Amino acid sequence: MNLEMRPYHPSDLVALYRICLLTGDSGQDASKLFKDPDILGHYYAAPYTVFEPELCFVLTCSGKPSGYILGTSNSARFWEWCEKAWFPILREQYPLPDIKNTSYDAHIIRLFYNRQIMPNDLLPYPAHLHIDLLPAVQHRGMGRQLIQVFLQKLKELKVPAVHLQVGKRNTGAIHFYSKVGFTRISEEKNSIAFGKRLVEKSPERYSSSC
Ligand X SMILES: CC(C)(COP(=O)(O)OP(=O)(O)OC[C@H]1O[C@@H](n2cnc3c(N)ncnc32)[C@H](O)[C@@H]1OP(=O)(O)O)[C@@H](O)C(=O)NCCC(=O)NCCS
Binding site residues, ligand X, CB under 6 A: 23, 27, 131-133, 138-144, 166, 170, 172-173, 175-176, 179
To ligand X, the closest distance from the beta carbon of 51 in angstroms equals: 19
By beta-carbon proximity to ligand X, the closer residue of 88 and 172 is 172
Cβ neighbours, 10 Å, residue 44 = 20
Q: Which residue is nearest to ligand X (CB)?
A: 143
To ligand X, the closest distance from the beta carbon of 101 in angstroms equals: 25
To ligand X, the closest distance from the beta carbon of 166 in angstroms equals: 4
CB-facing half-sphere around the CA of 148: CA atoms within 13 A: 7
By beta-carbon proximity to ligand X, the closer residue of 94 and 129 is 129
Number of H helices, E strands in the chain: 9, 7
CA-wise closest residue to 176 among 160, 158, 194, 151? 194
To ligand X, the closest distance from the beta carbon of 59 in angstroms equals: 8
Cβ neighbours, 10 Å, residue 157 = 14
Three-class DSSP category at 128: strand
By beta-carbon proximity to ligand X, the closer residue of 134 and 154 is 134
Indicate the Cα dihedral angle 137, 37, 47, 84, nearest 10°.
-170
By beta-carbon proximity to ligand X, the closer residue of 30 and 159 is 30
CA 115 to chain CA centroid, Å, is: 17
By beta-carbon proximity to ligand X, the closer residue of 110 and 130 is 130
To ligand X, the closest distance from the beta carbon of 194 in angstroms equals: 9
